[in-house]
Amino acid sequence: MHESTSNPTEQLVDVAQTASIFQVSASTIRSWRRRQVSWLPAPVAQLNGGAVWLRSEVSREAARYHHEGYSNNRTVSLARDRAAGRFYTPSDTAHFLADWLLRAGARSFLEPSFGDAAFIVAVNEQAEKLGLERVTWIGAELDVQAVKRARLASDLLPSEIRSGNFLALEAEPVDAVMANPPYVRLRHLDEETKRQSRKVVFQSTGELLSPSASLWLPFLIHSISFLNRGGMLAMVLPSDFTYVRYARKYWGWLSTQFEELRVVRVRQRLFPDLNQDVILLLASGHGGATQSVKFEAYESVPDLIESRPNVQSDIQISKIVSGERSFQRALAGSDVWSMLQEEFAGSLTPASDLMRFRIGYVAGDKDFFHPPSEVAEAYDLPAASLRKSITNGRRLKGHGLSTSKLPESAVDELWLPTGGELSDGELRYVRYGEQLGVSSGYKASRRDPWFRVPTVEIPDLIMTVFSESPLVLINDAELTASNSLLCGYLISGAVEQFVLNWYSPLTQLSIASEVHSLGGGVMVLVPNEANSVLMSDLRRPESDLLSIAGALASGNVEEAYLSGRAALENRAGAENVQMIIEATERLHHWRVRPN
Ligand SMILES: C[S@@+](CC[C@H](N)C(=O)[O-])C[C@H]1O[C@@H](n2cnc3c(N)ncnc32)[C@H](O)[C@@H]1O
């Protein structure tokens, strides 16, 4: 019998011995345990308050770890993992970013909001694997518990930790920033943090920060002020950064800060717990300047690590600043946009030239302001103060192309007292609303009187908002609509003509590239996006309205859009229309991601 098995305790190894068998530090073993990496066997027991492993298991896995390439070639190990059907964790992305920064020579790092220290662990591990000395850190974090955990885990030295608000921190020079900053809206933060945010943004860029901005933007800007000349940055940011209005001008500023800017998008979720679409911003050569962003999109994390982009495109920064949805356009494929320019030269117009879209009225309390008929009867609300209204887009489906075809069940009544005196019943209803607390609600309390809903209008068109193929109805019944819908007001031409041009595959492509989506891939049409949807005069016969109405009546919205295909083909040829349809499908593919 082998000597080590004669004494049972000799079969067991503690953290320090396990670390020495793997040839890593004890803190790496602790972080592996936290991350539950596949190559570290599970401890078999707790002895004297610490975990212990079977020596034989540790030795076997450590041999595999070194032999099969986990230790110095992440790509090999990831490829092997994939072959084994394992899935990839966020830490693979963190290691990828760490590897990029370290190989380029970064040795001092800033992590402005380290949280669970995932990025710090990744950099420290990767440095060890590359045979580098431990890098130095400035690690900031607001959450005291997270700071405590970091002190215990010893991923950071006490002198490297900055406990508190990163935005209040004086810049100290570093080679690299690696961060996944908080994404909280400024309006949800305390006054002091808002003030700090405005201050750091103004100091660095000379720009005034919009109140609708989120905290990641001042984090990005303040982090850059820490960088040495030639420094680099790797940050996980919300995809909103590629289009949201308040952030556009900072692309112009970024272009004066770095020699190279890369934006990476991965279709597979990078952070399974995060229901937010993210991009990776990789910037290098601080102190330089560039006119463009290299955009790369990957199907999965392994594709990113193995450098197999599905889409690669150089995007002019001036276009991002001007509000063009350049990243979306790149995902759709550049050829479709050049084709559209050629085939439709000068005839593509934004919808807003013909129809101005605005959000419907804001009642403030949906139930109170849309009383069901029994309640309206009980309070004797006069018919003259009840307006037929649409408050729910889902109820519009399957009834054709015009609001006059809607069944009663799809229409609510908005209580909107006319300018004169309130009836006795209405006065009772007002008191009832006050008892319910409706009068002190956010919207109601800001108007006088609280119960008169402002800007209730009758649009020419009503459009649903949560779809890549929104339903558009001609409002011939002169209904009004709440803020769950978009309302279109005719600027020029006839509403029927607008609808004929709207229901076409060309509009679908434009919607797919102009409209933003929520984390789960659900689109949300907001007025300025609906207004910028591109349309062309397709010269469709009025009789086509019947086929649109027929498709909509049978609940087939897709078919209504496809009804414009023939007219579009007459205009641009079948091949080009096929190209439009495929580009729309590509955008759908990138928007709706696997879990
Ligand atoms: C999205 S988490 C990122 C954590 C870490 N970078 C990671 O990838 O695991 C954001 C972190 O920002 C921290 N945070 C929020 N506001 C902060 C501030 N003003 N200064 C420093 N940290 C802050 C939060 O406590 C949280 O840990």
DSSP string covering 149-185, please? HHHHHTSS-GGGEEES-GGGSPP--EEEEEE-----B
Residue 307's identity, in one-letter code, is S
65 has a pLDDT exceeding 90: no
> What is the pLDDT, as a whole number, of residue 82?
36
Q: Band of the pLDDT at 547, cuts 50, 70, 90?
A: very high
For 434, counting Cβ atoms within 10 Å of its Cβ (0-12 exposed, 13-18 middle, 19+ buried), the class is middle
CB 213 within 8 A of CB 247: yes
Does 91 contact ligand 1 (Cβ within 6 A)?
no
Domains in the chain, start-ordered, CATH in brackets?
Answer: 3-67 (1.10.1660.10), 90-332 (3.40.50.150), 353-364+392-406+455-591 (no CATH)
Mean pLDDT of the region 326-337: 93
Higher pLDDT, 593 or 76: 593
E strand or H helix at 462: strand 461-463
Q: Band of the pLDDT at 369, cuts 50, 70, 90?
A: very high
> What is the pLDDT, as a whole number, of residue 27?
77
For 237, counting Cβ atoms within 10 Å of its Cβ (0-12 exposed, 13-18 middle, 19+ buried), the class is buried
CA distance 374 to 372: 6
Of 31-40, 114-123, 377-386, 572-581, which gets the smallest average pLDDT? Answer: 31-40
Find the DSSP H helices in 445-573: 495-502, 505-514, 527-531, 544-553, 557-562, 565-572
Mean pLDDT of the region 152-168: 92
How far is the centre of ligand 1, averaged over its atoms, from the C-alpha of 182 (Å)? 5
Does 216 contact ligand 1 (Cβ within 6 A)?
no
Does 100 contact ligand 1 (Cβ within 6 A)?
no
Give me the half-sphere count of Cα atoms (radius 13 Å) on the Cβ side of residue 428.
Answer: 11
Does 464 contact ligand 1 (Cβ within 6 A)?
no
How far is the centre of ligand 1, averaged over its atoms, from the C-alpha of 236 (Å)? 12
Kindly state the DSSP code that residue 471 receives in the 8-state scheme: -
> What is the pLDDT, as a whole number, of residue 33?
82
**Closest atom, ligand 1, to C-alpha of 236:** 8
95 has a pLDDT exceeding 80: yes
> What is the pLDDT, as a whole number, of residue 105?
96
Q: Whose CA is nearest to atom 8 of ligand 1?
A: 180
CA distance 240 to 347: 30
Does 182 contact ligand 1 (Cβ within 6 A)?
yes
Give the 3-state DSSP-derived string for 269-307, with helices as H, strands as E and coil as C: CCCCCCCCCEEEEEEEEECCCCCEEEEEEECCHHHHHCC
523 has a pLDDT exceeding 80: no
Does 155 contact ligand 1 (Cβ within 6 A)?
no
Mean pLDDT of the region 452-476: 94
Does 120 contact ligand 1 (Cβ within 6 A)?
no
State the sign of the Cα–Cα–Cα–Cα dihedral 199, 201, 207, 212: negative
CA distance 301 to 89: 9
- Encode pLDDT of 554-590 as tens digits: 999 999 999 999 999 999 999 999 999 999 999 999 9
CB 477 within 8 A of CB 437: no
How far is the centre of ligand 1, averaged over its atoms, from the C-alpha of 181 (Å)? 5
The owner of tokens 């905290």 is 215
Q: Whose CA is nearest to atom 10 of ligand 1?
A: 182
How far is the centre of ligand 1, averaged over its atoms, from the C-alpha of 166 (Å)? 9
Q: Band of the pLDDT at 495, cuts 50, 70, 90?
A: very high
Mean per-residue pLDDT over the chain, rounded: 89
> What is the pLDDT, as a whole number, of residue 511?
93
Question: Which residues contact residue 271 at a Cβ distance below 8 angstroms, ignoring those fewer than 6 apart?
Answer: 90, 180, 236, 278
Higher pLDDT, 233 or 12: 233
- Cis previous bond, 459, omega within 30: no
145 has a pLDDT exceeding 80: yes
Q: Retrieve residue 313's tokens.
A: 């495109």
Q: Retrieve residue 38's tokens.
A: 């596949």
- Encode pLDDT of 281-327 as tens digits: 999 999 999 999 999 999 988 899 889 999 999 999 999 999 999 99
Cα 141 to Cα 60, 71, 138, 156: the distances in Å are 38, 30, 10, 12
Q: Band of the pLDDT at 78, cuts 50, 70, 90?
A: very low
- Residue of 93, 95, 142 with the most ligand 1 atoms within 8 Å of its CB, for mutation: 142
Q: What are phi and psi of 556, to 5 degrees?
A: -100, 85
Q: Whose CA is nearest to atom 18 of ligand 1?
A: 165
Higher pLDDT, 88 or 55: 55
Of 61-65, 213-217, 255-259, 477-481, which gets the smallest average pLDDT? Answer: 61-65
Mean pLDDT of the region 347-359: 95
Kindly state the DSSP code that residue 39 receives in the 8-state scheme: T
> What is the pLDDT, as a whole number, of residue 334?
86
371 has a pLDDT exceeding 60: yes
Cα 155 to Cα 115, 169, 376: the distances in Å are 12, 21, 65
CA distance 415 to 384: 9
Question: Which residues contact residue 324 at a Cβ distance below 8 angstroms, ignoring those fewer than 6 apart?
Answer: none
Does 362 contact ligand 1 (Cβ within 6 A)?
no
Q: Whose CA is nearest to atom 15 of ligand 1?
A: 182
Best CA proximity match to 125, nearest among 319, 290, 548, 117: 117
> What is the pLDDT, as a whole number, of residue 81?
38
264 has a pLDDT exceeding 60: yes
> What is the pLDDT, as a whole number, of residue 209?
96
CB 501 within 8 A of CB 344: no
> What is the pLDDT, as a whole number, of residue 6?
43
> What is the pLDDT, as a whole number, of residue 483?
93
How far is the centre of ligand 1, averaged over its atoms, from the C-alpha of 122 (Å)? 16
CA distance 364 to 454: 10
Give the 3-state DSSP-derived string for 348-406, with helices as H, strands as E and coil as C: CEEHHHCEEEEECECCCCHHHHCCCHHHHHHCCCCHHHEEEEECCHHHHCCCCCEHHHC
The owner of tokens 């013909």 is 354
Q: Band of the pLDDT at 45, cuts 50, 70, 90?
A: confident
Best CA proximity match to 512, nearest among 277, 332, 278: 332
- Encode pLDDT of 241-258 as tens digits: 999 999 999 999 999 999
How far is the centre of ligand 1, averaged over its atoms, from the C-alpha of 28 (Å)? 22
Q: Retrieve residue 458's tokens.
A: 């009758």
- Residue of 34, 141, 189, 274 with the most ligand 1 atoms within 8 Å of its CB, for mutation: 141
Q: Band of the pLDDT at 151, cuts 50, 70, 90?
A: confident
**Closest atom, ligand 1, to C-alpha of 143:** 25
Q: Band of the pLDDT at 72, cuts 50, 70, 90?
A: very low
> What is the pLDDT, as a whole number, of residue 90?
59
The arrangement of strands across the sheet holding 45-47 comes to 12-13, 50-54, 45-47
Q: Band of the pLDDT at 212, cuts 50, 70, 90?
A: very high
468 has a pLDDT exceeding 50: yes
Kindly state the DSSP code that residue 24 receives in the 8-state scheme: S
Q: Band of the pLDDT at 430, cuts 50, 70, 90?
A: very high
